[in-house]
């Protein structure tokens, strides 16, 4: 594998290209992306981005059975050269000799590997509604290998756990050390915030400003460590979601320090931030100025906005994320800032992933306003003009349901307010072709922790957890939610606090039952009970959904299947206890005579009338 790109070499290359009157350095090769490839891919085309001082002035040649060089492309920057190859069906794995003739001859042995994903059911399994996703910020979960805490040569070579914006030392090994804990909780899938290199001077811990698309951040581990991580997760019955960013990269990425061409990123006369108004994406009355600023404005000063209308940029990103799938066997992509990218590119990128890996799942971040706007970005049932875009993304992060459950537990019921918002949001599922593909959640790394949002009210919190694990879609839990971690997204960023016990010096260890308080253990056990019940009862992840209009602050819905399995969920979102007359639910309850409350195991013998305490949810397995 390649080594971290030397800062000194970057500076030399910059001098070679920007100092007036200075000629390019003699041809050589610093790196080639993709770093290696495979024979037998469905798409036989491969585009190599060759980087090295003066390499653009070279003539390339390839001699290898089954491989043809279709042509080369010189770029604005003489330190780059593009090779367009066809890897024929008869090509064999091996070392592909690349020869470059220029000021001097250069040879490079490029590796073609044999594929491992076809036929291996342990790889690229896909994530679906039967799964339970656990979202982890790797830097803040657990430190399993202190030796990689500080990496010389990085822009942020320090650990400072007293700062919410510095590195804390969590890594892949730390997560792996707690696989058993996660399995006990009922988790089936791990979603890690981005793990590729983020060698930025400030706040590099979060991962959303990639500085090397083909390299795991060395403070998390190596590329080989990540491959082993995915393999060991699969061996433990856990799937892996890989978090990706298509919209932007880090300002210290070599492609920004020494860009192939000016139009590799969007250019402005002065720094222009995105207006963050997703409505501009598909507004039939919108101005081009607003749309341009939304799509082409930079997310932040250290996050250059990628120009995906440049075919080279688009293909670079498509190949990179095919590379990670084949290399690791990961199961799912979560796509950050999904709506901010160029529309045609989004269609092409998704199509390329699913063509090569039909079993792959993907869901995009759609932090938008409005149910219709959210549905617009996934496979939907819209009729009529699509404003230049037809979604082909399987699913989205369901912010609309997150808004609804938050309102249900923080506002009194009104005609559409409070718990009624859940009803109206679910009612709009007719917009989606498959709403089960959507990921439902209470909180994540960008928004305040739900336990804090409900003012640390355990009854409300448990009610939300019951909803999360019984509603339609794929549930996602943010790390630490099971131990009542608190925090707000701003101004202090405590929503990204360390998991207590993830570091040897921590005074308490919440990974153990002994280290947790009674309320924390009760919450952990509640989630574990429901999650493991859900895992064992397909009716909660593939069953049909029927709900009834909320009455007097009580929302009731059913998950059921053709075999007669039925789970009834009653949510009392009011401040007072409510008596629920179940006669209006007869079409779903007919023939059932008793029930068991799943979380507590309590028997319910009278199904005709139920007394629910304030802010309580019952998950009832109905019995004949």
Residue pair 490/484 in contact (Cβ under 8 Å)? The answer is: no
Q: CATH classification of 133-246+309-539 is 3.10.180.10, yes or no?
A: no
Give the mean model confidence (pLDDT) for residues 75-98: 98
pLDDT of residue 464: 98
pLDDT of residue 409: 98
pLDDT of residue 466: 98
Active site residue 365: yes
Residue 17 has pLDDT above 50, yes or no: no
Residue pair 70/86 in contact (Cβ under 8 Å)? The answer is: yes
Query: pLDDT grade, residue 386 (50/70/90)?
Result: low
- For tokens 């859940």, the residue is 422
Whole-angstrom Cα distance, residue 312 to residue 305?
A: 15
Task: Give the Cβ contact number of residue 144 at 10 Å.
Answer: 18
Whole-angstrom Cα distance, residue 180 to residue 177?
A: 8
Give the mean model confidence (pLDDT) for residues 519-525: 98
Of these residues, 145, 295, 365, 482, which one is catalytic?
365
Residue 2 has pLDDT above 70, yes or no: no
Give the mean model confidence (pLDDT) for residues 532-539: 98
The domain made up of 544-623 has a fold known as Immunoglobulin-like (2.60.40)
pLDDT of residue 26: 58
Give the mean model confidence (pLDDT) for residues 342-369: 97
All CATH 2.60.40.1180 domain ranges in the chain, comma separated: 544-623
Whole-angstrom Cα distance, residue 3 to residue 162?
A: 31
CA distances from 465 to 420, 439, 484, 501, 576 (A): 18, 14, 12, 24, 20
Q: Are strands 395-396 and 361-364 parallel, antiparallel or unpaired?
A: parallel
Of these residues, 33, 197, 295, 336, which one is catalytic?
336
Q: For the chain, what is the mean pLDDT?
A: 94
Which H or E run includes 453? helix 450-453
User: Which of 27-31, 356-360, 533-537 is predicted least confidently?
Assistant: 27-31
Q: Are strands 566-572 and 578-581 parallel, antiparallel or unpaired?
A: unpaired
Give the mean model confidence (pLDDT) for residues 39-60: 97
All CATH 2.60.40.10 domain ranges in the chain, comma separated: 7-113
Residue pair 469/433 in contact (Cβ under 8 Å)? The answer is: no
pTM exceeds 0.85: yes
> What are the percentages of helix, strand and coil residues in the chain, rounded to 5?
30, 25, 45
Phi, psi torsion values for 424, nearest 5 degrees: -70, -30
All CATH 3.20.20.80 domain ranges in the chain, comma separated: 133-246+309-539
Residue 6 has pLDDT above 70, yes or no: no
User: b/e string for 338-364 if b means 16 or more Cβ within 10 A?
Assistant: bbbbbbebbebbbebbbebbeebbbbb
Task: Tell me the CATH architecture of domain 7-113.
Answer: Sandwich (2.60)
Q: Which positions ≥6 away from 409 have C-beta within 8 Å?
A: 453, 454, 457, 460, 463, 464, 573, 615
Give the sheet arrangement for strand 37-38, strand by strand: 37-38, 105-113, 94-101, 59-62
Q: pLDDT digits over 484-501, tens only? A: 999 999 888 899 999 999
Largest CA distance in the chain: 90
Q: Tell me if the bond preceding 519 is cis, omega within 30° of 0.
A: no
Q: Tell me if the bond preceding 34 is cis, omega within 30° of 0.
A: yes
Query: pLDDT grade, residue 384 (50/70/90)?
Result: low
Percentage, residues of the chain above pLDDT 70: 95
pLDDT of residue 3: 35
pLDDT of residue 103: 81
Active site residue 162: no
Residue pair 502/566 in contact (Cβ under 8 Å)? The answer is: no
Whole-angstrom Cα distance, residue 19 to residue 15?
A: 5
């Amino acid at each position: 594998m390649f080594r971290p790109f030397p800062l000194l070499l970057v500076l030399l290359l910059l001098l070679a290209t920007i100092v007036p009157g200075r000629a390019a350095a003699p041809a050589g090769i610093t790196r080639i992306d993709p770093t290696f490839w495979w024979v037998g891919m469905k798409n036989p085309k491969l585009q190599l981005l060759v980087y090295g001082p003066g390499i653009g002035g070279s003539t390339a040649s390839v001699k290898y059975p089954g491989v043809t060089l279709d042509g080369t492309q010189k770029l604005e920057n003489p330190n780059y050269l593009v090779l367009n190859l066809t890897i024929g069906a008869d090509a064999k794995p091996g070392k592909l000799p690349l020869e470059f003739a220029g000021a001097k001859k250069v040879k490079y042995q490029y590796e073609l590997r044999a594929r491992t994903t076809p036929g291996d059911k342990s790889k690229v399994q896909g994530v679906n509604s039967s799964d339970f996703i656990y979202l982890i910020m790797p830097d803040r979960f657990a430190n399993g290998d202190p030796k990689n805490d500080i990496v010389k040569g990085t822009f942020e070579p320090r650990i400072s756990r007293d700062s919410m914006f510095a590195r804390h030392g969590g890594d892949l090994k730390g997560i792996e050390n707690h696989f058993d804990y996660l399995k006990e909780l009922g988790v089936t899938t791990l979603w890690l915030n981005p793990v590729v290199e983020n060698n930025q001077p400030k706040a590099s811990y979060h991962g959303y400003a990639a500085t090397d698309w083909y390299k795991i951040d060395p403070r998390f581990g190596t590329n080989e460590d990540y491959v082993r991580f995915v393999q060991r997760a699969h061996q433990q019955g856990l799937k892996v979601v890989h978090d990706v960013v298509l919209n932007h990269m880090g300002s210290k990425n070599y492609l920004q320090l020494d860009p192939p061409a000016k139009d590799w990123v969007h250019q402005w006369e002065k720094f222009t931030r995105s207006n963050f108004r997703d409505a501009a994406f598909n507004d039939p009355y919108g101005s081009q100025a607003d749309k341009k600023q939304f799509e082409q404005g930079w997310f932040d000063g250290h996050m250059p906005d990628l120009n995906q209308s440049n075919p080279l940029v688009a293909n670079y990103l498509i190949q990179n994320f095919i590379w990670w799938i084949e290399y690791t066997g990961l199961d799912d992509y979560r796509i950050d800032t999904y709506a901010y990218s160029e529309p045609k590119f989004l269609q092409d990128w998704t199509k390329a992933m699913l063509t090569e890996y039909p079993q792959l799942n993907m869901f995009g971040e759609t932090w938008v306003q409005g149910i219709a706007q959210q549905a617009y970005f996934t496979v939907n049932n819209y009729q009529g003009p699509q404003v230049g875009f037809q979604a082909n993304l399987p699913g989205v992060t369901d912010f609309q349901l997150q808004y609804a459950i938050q309102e249900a537990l923080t506002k009194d019921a009104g005609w559409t307010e409070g718990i009624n918002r859940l009803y109206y949001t679910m009612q709009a599922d007719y917009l989606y072709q498959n709403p089960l593909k959507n990921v439902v959640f209470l909180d994540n790394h960008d928004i305040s922790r739900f336990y804090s949002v409900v003012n640390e009210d355990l009854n409300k919190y448990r009610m939300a957890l019951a909803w999360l694990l019984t509603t339609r879609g794929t549930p996602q839990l943010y790390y630490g939610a099971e131990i009542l971690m608190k925090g707000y997204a701003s101004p202090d960023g405590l929503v990204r606090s360390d998991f207590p016990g993830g570091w040897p010096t921590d005074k308490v260890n919440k990974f153990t039952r002994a280290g947790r308080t009674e309320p924390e253990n009760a919450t952990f056990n509640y989630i574990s009970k429901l999650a493991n019940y859900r895992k064992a009862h397909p009716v909660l992840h593939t069953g049909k959904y029927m709900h009834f209009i909320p009455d007097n602050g009580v929302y009731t819905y059913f998950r059921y299947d053709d075999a007669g399995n039925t789970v009834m969920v009653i949510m009392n979102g009011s401040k007072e206890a409510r008596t629920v007359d179940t006669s209006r639910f007869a079409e779903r309850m007919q023939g059932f005579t008793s029930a068991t409350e799943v979380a507590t195991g309590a028997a319910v013998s009278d199904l005709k009338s139920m007394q629910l305490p304030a802010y309580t949810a019952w998950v009832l397995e109905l019995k004949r």
